[in-house]
């Protein structure tokens, strides 16, 4: 019995020594391959290299449906559409920046017939309309 206890203790000790020497090798390899993280390279580590353009779809909708009247930069002004002169709202003014999103959504859905703005309900989904409002807020009204 004493022989088995001694053999067991020696085997455990041998495994411990082997494991410690492997850990030391791995620690040395890790230390040699270590990357120092600083503020200047932290963004490269934490941010993906390919940036997803969350506004791409909304930009496309704005360009095809809104920019004819409101211009690419949102400044609007007088424009002739189908023989009718329209004075499109400048979306970049303080007044328009303060307007609630719900009001924008209502105007886009129902239009403003007296001012020549067409209704887009049924032409754009509810999500597309919300995305366009988000685009106006983030890109045109900055």
CATH class, range 56-140: mainly alpha
Residue pointed to by tokens 């970049």: 92
Per-residue CA distances from 124 to 47, 58, 89, 109, 140 (Å) = 33, 11, 20, 8, 20
Question: Residue 56, Cα to own-chain centre: how many angstroms?
Answer: 10
Listed residue (125, 141, 133) closest to 55, CA to CA: 133
Distance CA 79, CA 72 (A): 13
Residue pointed to by tokens 């020696």: 10
Listed residue (51, 70, 72, 61) closest to 139, CA to CA: 72
User: Would you kindly state where each structural domain of the chain is located, as residue ranges?
Assistant: 2-34, 56-140
**Tell me, what's the pLDDT at 38?**
58
**Tell me, what's the pLDDT at 68?**
93
**Tell me, what's the pLDDT at 65?**
93
**Tell me, what's the pLDDT at 81?**
85
Listed residue (73, 84, 83) closest to 115, CA to CA: 84
Contact between 135 and 125 (Cβ < 8 Å) = no
pLDDT in 10s for each residue of the chain, 142 residues: 665 566 555 555 555 566 656 555 554 444 555 555 555 555 555 555 555 677 899 999 999 999 999 999 999 999 988 888 899 999 999 999 999 999 999 999 999 988 889 999 999 999 999 999 999 999 999 8
**Tell me, what's the pLDDT at 130?**
95
Listed residue (66, 64, 69) closest to 82, CA to CA: 69
Question: Across-strand partners of 77?
Answer: 88
């Amino acid at each position: 019995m004493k022989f088995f206890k001694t053999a067991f203790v020696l085997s455990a000790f041998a495994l411990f020594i082997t494991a410690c020497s492997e850990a030391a090798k791995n620690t040395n390899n890790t230390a040699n391959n270590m990357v120092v993280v600083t503020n200047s390279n932290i963004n490269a580590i934490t941010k993906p290299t390919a940036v997803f353009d969350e506004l791409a779809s909304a930009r496309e909708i704005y360009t095809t449906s809104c920019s004819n009247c409101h211009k690419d930069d949102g400044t609007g002004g007088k424009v002739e559409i189908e023989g009718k002169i329209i004075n499109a709202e400048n979306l970049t003014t303080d007044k328009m920046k303060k307007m609630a999103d719900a009001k924008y959504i209502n105007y886009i859905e129902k239009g403003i017939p007296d001012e020549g703005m067409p209704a887009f309900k049924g032409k754009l989904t509810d999500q597309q309309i919300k995305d366009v409002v988000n685009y106006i807020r983030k890109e045109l009204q900055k």
